[in-house]
Amino acid sequence: MGDIPGRKLFKVFNQDFIVDERYTVTKELGQGAYGIVWYRIISILVNIVLISYDSAATNNVTQEGVAIKKVTNVFSKKILAKRALREIKLLQHFRGHRNITCLYDMDIPRPMNFNETYLYEGQGK
């Protein structure tokens, strides 16, 4: 894979994570059924279809904690696209709730191969 401007590549549970260069992944936290999560000051949650991984990262600019969830194979099956859209809608709906993570941004690191997206999440305020 060639370099993508403005991005960094991290390995999380042997998976490639291409995140915005403002973030640094710090450690893996665990695996689950839906994605990978990283946590430090910034928590990165990465989703892979039917597999979860936990890890952490730091926003190098603000030093705030965020989660980055990688959702792969978004359009490989209709049900996966529906699940991803449902999650995004719920995160938007509950934005600002102190007990639910907040969706800050979305990213598509390889727009020519739109098969994965990253959701940047953080602590609700």
Lowest mean pLDDT among 38-42, 94-98, 116-120: 38-42
Mean pLDDT of 10-39: 71
- Residue 16's beta-bridge partner residues? 11
Q: How do residues 56-91 score in pLDDT, each as one tens digit?
A: 677 788 887 777 777 777 788 888 888 888 888 888
Quote the tokens at residue 124.
């609700």
Cβ density class 110-125: b for 16+ within 10 Å, e for less = eeeeeebbbbbbbeee
- Residue written as token pair 């509950």: 94
Nearest-10 Cα torsion for 76, 110, 9, 6: -150
Higher pLDDT, 93 or 55: 93
At 77, the amino acid letter reads K
Record the pTM. Answer: 0.73
In the CATH hierarchy, which top-level class contains the domain 7-122? alpha beta
pLDDT value of residue 45: 43
